[in-house]
Amino acid sequence: MTGSGGTGASEGELPRPGATPPPPPGFLAELAEAFRRHRPQGSLRWNFSDAFTRLEQHVRRPPAAGGEGPAAGDRPGRGPATVGRAVSGRLGRWVDGRAAAAARSAVDEALAEGRGATGATDAAVEAFRFLAARVEGLEDAGSRRLSPVEGMAWLVPSPALGGWAGPVARWVAGAHRSGEVVHGECGAGELAVALVASGLSVRGAEPRGAVAWEAAERGVDVHVGPVEGLLASTAPGSLGGLVLSGVVDRLDLAGLVALLETATGRLADGAPLVVVSTAPGAVGTGWDAVARDLVPGRPLHPETWALLLSRAGYVEVGPLEGPDEGPGAATYALKGRRPG
């Protein structure tokens, strides 16, 4: 769009002289202060504070002799304010989960468009390079924390679900809303088969290929992979019911809360949820030493699941009567239903 003050710049381009007013005088100072406040401590390669100190020095220098406008040595429209604004605009592209790659791209683009600018541009680019490297390191560290050992599902024995087939199927069928029912992890498919026999459309999720094959041989429609991946690809509010087992024994608390949040968003209003978990006391005898050492999470107590479900907004939360009741039970099941 062309305004009365000059020619506008298309999206992604640096503004031309006169196209848009410069940012407020305190903009870059506020940006520098924000980065200083949140900067990580310690780096052998980058000096974050020094980069912004030099940036501020260039921004505060007086205009070139001869009147208003860019300082000597700046290309028109490519001074510290405009280049800094372009870099900060591109910063927004890498805060949505694609941090490291997009940050590197933002730096490369800023370098290409900022050639010929003053040392202020170099200082800003150096600061954003520091952020790109730091974010990449954080992503790598986070990935290692989330998956310290591959094939975690194979380390933990699947809970015995056969005895829960009838109780779970009756509860889910009675509270079912229109839509597919997902069982993750479905194991060899005993419970999924019972759900299908109740007249429901069922899809299982099982990360262990050989076990998923057993479920498929029973006629279960199986997604070979984590239930988190299946839920993430499901439309919000589309599921008529959900059964969680196996995976709930291995995830740490942060992972369980995230899984419950995703599951809740995928369930239709009024749809049922069942959690079938190994009893915490059965871990000592049911898990071998390797699983106890390497698995990051542990089965929760039913009271804890009841609290999590209630805080997530579920109603009719309570134990599901089944085969394993009493102090020595190896498993338990907790039910709930989304309101609506």
Q: What are phi and psi of 272, to 5 degrees?
A: -85, 155
Last residue of a domain, one of 119, 146, 173: 146
pLDDT of residue 133: 72
Please choose, from the candidates 157, 109, 95, the residue with its C-alpha nearest in 3D space to the C-alpha of residue 12.
Answer: 109
Q: DSSP for 126-144?
A: HHHHHHHHHHHHHHHHHHH
Domain count along the chain:
2
- The phi and psi torsions of 334 (rounded to 5 degrees) equal -125, 135
What distance in Å separates the CA atoms of residue 185 and residue 180, rounded to the nearest whole number? 15
In the predicted structure, residue 269 carries a pLDDT above the cut 70 = yes
Residues 167 and 203 in one domain: yes
Stretch among 3-17, 247-261, 274-288, 305-319 having the lowest mean pLDDT: 3-17
Domain-located, residue 308 = yes
Asked whether residue 247 is domain-assigned, the answer is yes
Domain containing 238 — which CATH number? 3.40.50.150
Please indicate, yes or no, if residue 19 is contained in any of the structural domains. Answer: no
Question: Both 124 and 167 in a single domain?
Answer: no
Contact 270, 176 (CB under 8 A): no
pTM: predicted TM-score of the whole model, two decimal places:
0.59
- Residue 20 inside a domain? The answer is no
CA distance 307 to 314: 10
Domain boundary among 110, 131, 146: 146
pLDDT, greater one: 177 or 135: 177
Of 146, 167, 199, which residue constitutes the final position of a domain? 146
Residue 228 has pLDDT above 90, yes or no: yes
Boundaries of domain holding 257? 153-337
Residue 151: pLDDT band (50, 70, 90) is confident
Distance CA 321, CA 170 (A): 11
123 pLDDT band, cuts 50/70/90, is low
Residues 182, 131 share a domain? no
Q: Does some domain include residue 17?
A: no
Q: How confident is the model over 29-49, as pLDDT tens digits?
A: 776 666 666 555 544 444 555
11 inside domain: no
